[in-house]
Amino acid sequence: MATMAPPDTAEHGEERFFFVMACVMSALIVAGFAFNFAMGRSTLSLPPIYHLHGIVMLSWIGLYLTQNSLIFTGNVAMHRRLGWLSIPLIPLVAVMALLVMSTSLRRTGGPFFFDQNSFLISNTAGLAVFVGLAVWAILVRANTGWHRRLMFCAFAILLGPGLGRLLPMPLFMPYSWWIGSIMVPMLLPIIGMIADKRRYDRVHPAWFWGVGTIVAVQIASDLVAYSEWGLAFTRDFLAGTPGAERPMEAFIPPGFAM
């Protein structure tokens, strides 16, 4: 007959899992942008807003990684003190991401493998979910199980831009947004569910709330993005800018090669 691991052993195993996954998610984001730079798809000559966004995003990644490291090494007091830095950083991450998205759409039309209406509306909705889940995680911080899983799901939402630079996104058209920003990032929380099942023989409900919220909001935002209102809103948003010159739907630019 199988015996359960002592609570302290199971808890330390869980802390190790979240620390390792924090390293994996952070590495995926950094690797995506580093690869893009190495391939010459991005340069330091981009407008300052991109660099400010990068600094803010790296600050968030650093905080998330540090917080999981502190818990794994048992420094709970420092974890709690540093946790307050997330209060201003969470909305700042969302605001900077929105500004870069807006700049990208109006300056170049946004990534060619995304429909512009989806990139504008679904991206905005996803950032709202990031803020919502992260704030929820802070509010229930006394309940460690909910706190760390909701924060994990919030962080997973931000994987899209990094993964999108590692995956062959043009090959996924016209489903690039769903695959690169939802399906692949959600594999990480699913790994968390599997880890819970193996460790405790049950899956913590926070995973279902986190992933369920992300998927439900994505479906709702798609309905808005592809409605007459969503299409008109996108056209008005881009009117008079260089971004309006490309097709609204995803397309392969002339002369493009993988």
Contact 153, 133 (CB under 8 A): yes
- Alpha carbon distance 253, 75 (integer Å): 51
- Nearest Cα to 117, choosing from 254, 251, 250? 250
Position 258 confidence tier, pLDDT thresholds 50, 70, 90: low
> If you average pLDDT over residues 132-138, what whole number do you get?
97
What pLDDT is stored for residue 6 in this prediction? 41
Q: To 10 degrees, the CA torsion angle through 6, 12, 18, 20?
A: -120
- Alpha carbon distance 225, 222 (integer Å): 5
Contact 68, 147 (CB under 8 A): no
CB proximity list for 226: less than 8 A, separation 6 or greater:
117, 118
pTM: 0.91
Per-residue pLDDT for 50 more than 80? yes
- Alpha carbon distance 202, 4 (integer Å): 13
* Residue-wise pLDDT tens digits, 87-119: 999 999 999 999 999 999 999 999 999 999 999
CA separation (Å) from 27 to 16, 31, 35, 133? Answer: 16, 6, 12, 22
